[in-house]
Amino acid sequence: MTHPNAAVKSRQVNPSERSSRVHYAIRDIMLVAAEAQKAGKQLLRLNIGDPPLYDFLTPRHLIEATHQAMLAGHNGYAPSTGVEEAVESIRAHAGRAGIRNIQDVFVSSGVSEAIEVCFAALLDPGDNVLIPSPGYPLYEAALVKLGGEAVSYECDEQDGWQPNLDDIARRVNNRTRAIVVINPNNPTGAVCRRDTLMGILEIASRHGLVVFADEIYDKLLLDPVTHIPLASLAPELPVVTFNGLSKTYLVPGFRIGWIIVSGEPKNVEQYREAIAKFLRVRLSSNHPSQFAIKPALEGDQSHIPGVIEKLRKRRDLTVSLLNSFPRIKCVPPQAAFYAFPRLEIPRSDAEFVKDLVRQTGVIVVPGSGFGQAPGTNHFRMVFLPPEETLQKALHLVGDFIHSWS
Ligand code: PLP
């Protein structure tokens, strides 16, 4: 008798074509960093926007609320749309921020899941979504996954990185379904002015588009600027607001985000039902950590001024050092914890960033991973680390760029 395995042939598993079009530069650079570390370099990580990796401690009452929820037995699946106390707290919080005509609130596994679910519920293959350039790369990756198309619109570096309304208007076509606004923006730290937001809403209204407002950094304002929730300016238009606990509340690992659908009830009814359907098939978001939402939004906020104070000092140090180096120019970020300096260099930012990590151990992310105007080069760095680390890392960058060619 022949061995049963004789007939078994092992074949290579070919990944999908679409997987070759997904890039996430923020983590991709880690492959090069790992080689540098093996070769003996000490790594200085300025690549990931994860506050608890640095000296930003999770507020204790959020840990306790989650712990208590587990002890109280909230360890099964949660309702697909979110636990009631969390949903009500988000709704009330959004109402206080001026968002009216709220038709639904859903809790998701971070804004990351919210983006995918809301795109899946809206788009057919070949539809496109206008996304900011520079902007957070997950939007493009989510579109690749769903067979949608990302159409980049320009944020204007000469205008403090405000979205360029003419460019947005020019790029709308008959397959456009939505516009994404990241406000405050990752990677530029820009906060949209009221006239910019009004202009975007006007274009959306003219073409019947949904507006996605990613406002996850709305409370991390480092300058005396006002953040205006986009949905608050147009209660009648279909706006989907994304927010969550990851950044302001220092718990990215809790994986808690949410979706607020606002607009004229009859115009969003079918869409919100489609979102709910996709949420049902993925069962629920993390159950115990949803119990941190109400204490986060309604409880002690005293950590926030401390976070802002630290970030402001680190931002100021970062911008003044960057702008003191030759061949680097940085528009000061007004919010969040990222800087997106421009490089006057002879080769691409991707090559620059790879050489930088190999030779100095400093990890930043190439601007091409976020989108940038053709012919320009940038990198994104986080200024979450303490001043000493920033000083050390930035002086290495300054020395390196001096001699890099
Ligand atoms: N949106 C923006 C603009 C971000 O910068 C990030 C994370 O860096 C996310 C969404 C993802 O957030 P979450 O942790 O809620 O999935």
Pocket test for ligand 1, best of 58, 212, 247 (most atoms within 8 A of CB): 247
Can you give 308-361 as a three-state secondary structure string? HHHHHHHHHHHHHHHHHCCCEECCCCCECCEECCEECCCCCHHHHHHHHHHHHC
Q: What is the pLDDT of residue 3?
A: 63
* Inter-CA distances, 258 with 91, 226, 273, 275, 367, Å: 10, 22, 16, 12, 28
Q: What is the pLDDT of residue 26?
A: 75
- Residue 111 CA to ligand 1 center (angstroms) comes to 6
- Considering only CA atoms, which residue is closest to atom 2 of ligand 1? 136
Percent of the chain with pLDDT over 90: 93
DSSP-derived letter for residue 253 is G
**4, pLDDT greater than 80:** no
Pocket test for ligand 1, best of 27, 48, 107, 111 (most atoms within 8 A of CB): 111
- Residue 242 CA to ligand 1 center (angstroms) comes to 9
Cα distance between residue 45 and residue 306, in whole Å: 22
Read off the pLDDT of residues 196-250 as tens digits, 9 standing for 90 and up.
Answer: 999 999 999 999 999 999 999 999 999 999 999 999 999 999 999 999 999 999 9
- Residue 257 CA to ligand 1 center (angstroms) comes to 9
Task: Using the atom order of ligand 1, give the atom closest to the CA of residue 135.
Answer: 3
Burial of 76 (0-12, 13-18, 19+ CB in 10 A): exposed
Q: What is the pLDDT of residue 2?
A: 57
Pocket test for ligand 1, best of 186, 255, 285, 365 (most atoms within 8 A of CB): 186
Which residues make Cβ contacts (< 8 Å) with residue 383, sequence separation at least 6?
46, 311, 314, 315, 317, 318, 337, 338, 339, 390
**330, pLDDT greater than 90:** yes
Instruction: Establish how many alpha carbons lie within 13 A of residue 161's alpha carbon, considering only the half-sphere containing its beta carbon.
Output: 27
- Considering only CA atoms, which residue is closest to atom 5 of ligand 1? 186
Which residues make Cβ contacts (< 8 Å) with residue 112, sequence separation at least 6?
138, 257
Task: Using the atom order of ligand 1, give the atom closest to the CA of residue 112.
Answer: 16
Pocket test for ligand 1, best of 24, 48, 138 (most atoms within 8 A of CB): 138
Read off the pLDDT of residues 348-381 as tens digits, 9 standing for 90 and up.
Answer: 999 999 999 999 999 999 999 999 999 999 999 9
Q: Tokens 């290579």 appear where?
A: 12
Read off the pLDDT of residues 57-101 as tens digits, 9 standing for 90 and up.
Answer: 999 999 999 999 999 999 999 999 999 999 999 999 999 999 999
Structure tokens at 392: 């050390």
- Residue 216 CA to ligand 1 center (angstroms) comes to 7
Q: What is the pLDDT of residue 74?
A: 98
Burial of 144 (0-12, 13-18, 19+ CB in 10 A): middle
DSSP-derived letter for residue 54 is T
- Residue 367 CA to ligand 1 center (angstroms) comes to 17
Contact of 211 with 177, CB cutoff 8 Å = no
Q: Tokens 């109402």 appear where?
A: 95
Contact of 237 with 211, CB cutoff 8 Å = yes
pLDDT band with cut points at 50, 70 and 90 for residue 405: confident
Q: Minimal CA–CA distance to 106: which of 301, 277, 295, 300?
A: 277
| pTM (two decimals) | 0.95
Q: What is the pLDDT of residue 321?
A: 97
Task: Using the atom order of ligand 1, give the atom closest to the CA of residue 246.
Answer: 14
- Considering only CA atoms, which residue is closest to atom 7 of ligand 1? 49
- Residue 217 CA to ligand 1 center (angstroms) comes to 9
- Residue 181 CA to ligand 1 center (angstroms) comes to 13
Structure tokens at 351: 């090559």
Q: Long-range contacts of range 223-227, CB-CB < 8 Å, 24 or more positions apart?
A: 223/191, 223/332, 223/334, 223/335, 225/191, 225/334, 225/335, 226/191, 227/183, 227/184, 227/191, 227/335
Pocket test for ligand 1, best of 107, 216, 230 (most atoms within 8 A of CB): 216
- The residues lining ligand 1, judged by C-beta closer than 6 Å to any ligand atom, are 49, 110-112, 136, 182, 186, 214, 216, 244, 246, 252, 257
Mean pLDDT within 277-296: 98
- Residue 261 CA to ligand 1 center (angstroms) comes to 18
Q: Give CA torsion, residues 33, 36, 42, 48, to 10 deg.
A: -10
Read off the pLDDT of residues 29-38 as tens digits, 9 standing for 90 and up.
Answer: 888 999 999 9
Structure tokens at 33: 């960093």
What is the per-residue DSSP string for 214-239?
E-TTTT-B-SS-----GGGG-TTS-E
Can you give 163-185 as a three-state secondary structure string? ECHHHHHHHCCCCEEEEEEECCC
Instruction: Establish how many alpha carbons lie within 13 A of residue 383's alpha carbon, considering only the half-sphere containing its beta carbon.
Output: 35
Cα distance between residue 127 and residue 176, in whole Å: 6
- Considering only CA atoms, which residue is closest to atom 10 of ligand 1? 111
Whole-number average pLDDT of the chain: 96
